[in-house]
Chains A and B, each alone.
Chain A
């Protein structure tokens, strides 16, 4: 049996049906053959307007593992990617793909998200800081502590630190805060209420994952998750696709591994539609043209999906 046949046999028994194996290369220094394992992973895209067909888009996964043989053409198990590791790498790449799109969706739709009142309510502590800086151009040390419980003080300090990181607030030598360069830049373009919304949108755009993971603002996760489920196939196909509530529910489960309550879904879809983040045609939902075009531009600038090379 040739080296190629041995590698193909191992792959055939251990890796999934989308696997591609590059021709093995012999490394004379290490006296071993190495073949890169990759995948042409199909994404099936459905449109409710034409339920009798689907389109296929391929995610090129450049490196999912390797198969290594020694110079006697025997498999080296500890250097060869196992079935479990292959599956784990695949799941990680799918997660990365989903997160890439999610970040694009957030970046392009933050102006719409911030119009959702319930969304803004979860950012009330940030609004508190923004209001003060808009009104007085500074926040003193005392203002950050006076009358607040210990827990509120700690939480507020974390938000201050988040705004400092974005250069919306800047620490002065006195220990007070003043408007940072980012805020001054935003202030030049709009005023008052619009400035507050613009600043909040900027924060969502640039610190979405921190707000979700560190501050535990889970409202973002579901709302943005549903928005992502609507745009994810549209970005692959670069056109609008209609999805019913049923397919949105099933796609949310597919991409996020969680069920969504029908009442919550209705509420999220209504809020997204009213804010202009998505559009609706009867009982089917789809993305908004100008947002999708912006998202496609951002997506095209991204590198290919890849897990770090082996060896």
Chain B
């Protein structure tokens, strides 16, 4: 069941007449400290890519992910370092990379979820009038009819981590104009090097 995408599950639910909540089955990890939300979310999405999307990539420990993004237990992650984990994904096949979109829109989320890719979202935990303080979650579904976005909050225990938020509130208040979505980009061409050039498989083998 875990390998079925939500579109298939939706079809199955339609057949049986049952209610299906369209959620991507992202492996959940609770963040070990209050400010390790970004590396924890990156690990969730990476493990999803490996387990569910069959991406060939060595699983990375949370410590390795946090080290690659210079995340600190007290100060969290520097916003412009969020994608630095890409340096550890050069050997993935097909190649995967994280790409930031600011500001994130509902259309971005819809497109990613429809393509069975969860999205990392940097959301503001404050009322926008009080300023901005980022927390990071993984968006793993939406329901257009209900106008709801579903996300996993790594601050909570697994049984309470799945949250729902009204679309307008999520996009306008939590993401706002500066909140970013970090998408998982899967290359159709093969692996890429540090400069974004496609590396032919033969060349890679020889280099090893």
Contacts and interface: CB of A to CB of B under 8 A. Distances in A.
B interface, size bucket: 20 to 34
A9 interface: yes
B76 A16 contact: yes
Given A12-B78, A13-B81, A18 B133 contact: yes
A51 interface: yes
Contacts of A91: 74
Contacts of A17: 35, 38, 75-79, 122, 133-134, 136
B75 A18 contact: yes
A54 interface: yes
A235 to B, nearest CB: 17
Interface stretch (A82-90, A122-130, A262-270, A302-310): A82-90
Contacts of A206: none
Interface stretch (B1-9, B109-117, B154-162): B154-162
A14 interface: yes
B156 A52 contact: yes
Interface in B106-158: 122, 125-126, 130-136, 155-157
A56 B123 CA distance: 13
Interface string B91-116: 00000000000000000000000000
Contacts of B155: 44, 54
A15 interface: yes
A254 B34 contact: yes
B187 interface: no
Contacts of B70: 83
Interface in A15-54: 15-20, 40-44, 51-54
A219 interface: no
Contacts of B75: 15-19, 86-87, 90
A260 interface: no
A12 B100 CA distance: 14
A12 B74 contact: no
A58 B74 contact: no
A51 B34 contact: no
A94 interface: yes
Contacts of A18: 75-76, 133-134
Contacts of B80: 9, 12-13
B72 interface: yes
Interface in A239-267: 254
A42 B72 CA distance: 15
A40 B157 CA distance: 25
A94 B73 CA distance: 12
Given A40-B126, A87-B72, A20 B34 contact: no
Chain A contact residues: over half helix, strand or loop, or mixed?
mixed
B118 to A, nearest CB: 20
B169 interface: no
A52 B157 CA distance: 8
Interface string A270-294: 0000000000000000000000000
A56 B70 CA distance: 24
B71 to A, nearest CB: 8
Contacts of A58: 126, 130, 133
B61 interface: no
A94 B125 contact: no
Contacts of A90: 74-75
Contacts of A52: 156, 160
B33 interface: yes
A55 B122 CA distance: 18
Contacts of B135: 42
Q: Tell me which of B75, B76, B122, B156 has the highest count of chain A C-beta atoms within 10 A of its own C-beta.
A: B75
B38 to A, nearest CB: 7
Contacts of A53: 156, 160
Contacts of B77: 16-17
Contact of B78 (A14, A42, A43, A94): A14
Given A16-B72, A40-B131, A51 B160 contact: yes
Contacts of A13: 78, 80-81
B67 to A, nearest CB: 14
A58 B133 CA distance: 9
A214 B135 CA distance: 41
Contacts of B134: 17-18
22 contacts: A12-B80, A13-B78, A14-B78, A15-B75, A15-B78, A16-B35, A16-B75, A17-B76, A17-B79, A17-B136, A18-B75, A40-B131, A40-B133, A56-B125, A56-B133, A58-B126, A83-B70, A86-B75, A87-B74, A87-B75, A90-B75, A254-B34
Given A12-B78, A19-B75, A56-B125, 12 more contacts: A9-B80, A12-B79, A12-B81, A16-B75, A17-B75, A17-B76, A20-B132, A51-B160, A54-B156, A56-B126, A58-B130, A90-B74
